[in-house]
Amino acid sequence: MEYTIDKMKPNDWEQVRSIYLEGIATGQATFEAEAPEWEKWESSHLAEPRLVARAGGKVAGWAALSRVSARRVYAGVCEVSIYVSSRYQRRGIGSALLGALVEAAEKMGLWTLQAGIFPENTTSINLHQKHGFRILGRRSKIGKMTFGEFKGVWRDVILLERRSQVAGSD
């Protein structure tokens, strides 16, 4: 299957949102119970890089970054969001997206990328490790699920970090 990695455009939002909703429905992707409206999502993620994988004219997956803090000292530290539609998983799309996101982040001068992943989501943990993320630890009972089969359950999150060897190395 052929696909391309491209910049996310505002008119991709409905497909991006649909993929996000798929991830939410698994109960293994996020604490969020619903996908936000475009304006809220747009304001909470960096304008660049926002990437999509396109396959056959459709968005097959997406990746974006959000700031972890408004403090200047953390200006180069961002959190990764990456989602691949269930129809396109296990085809290298997640790896291509994350690789392109890391490369773009380094070109922007971002020095640390982090990800918080449920321990049960071993596929995502392995993907991040493949791209240079290392496990820092387990954040125990960091949040309580508000929906789905885990509703009311306090969940752990594995904290991963990737420190650039290019950006912020002075």
Residue 65 lies in a domain: yes
Residue 138 lies in a domain: yes
Residue 169 lies in a domain: no
Residue 127 lies in a domain: yes
DSSP element (H, E) containing 26? helix 13-26
For tokens 């594995």, name the residue.
Answer: 158
- Beta carbons within 10 angstroms of residue 139's beta carbon: 13
CATH code: domain of residue 32: 3.40.630.30
Residue 50 lies in a domain: yes
**Domain containing 78: what range?**
4-163
Tally of domains in the chain:
1
Cα gap 39→37, rounded to integer Å: 6
Dump pLDDT digits (tens) for 7-43.
999 999 999 999 999 999 999 999 999 999 999 999 9
Residue 109 lies in a domain: yes
Please state whether the predicted TM-score (pTM) of the whole model is above 0.85.
yes
Q: CA angle at residue 30 from 41 to 19, to 5 degrees?
A: 60
Question: Hey, what are 154's tokens?
Answer: 């306090």
Residue 170 lies in a domain: no
Dump pLDDT digits (tens) for 62-76.
999 999 999 999 999
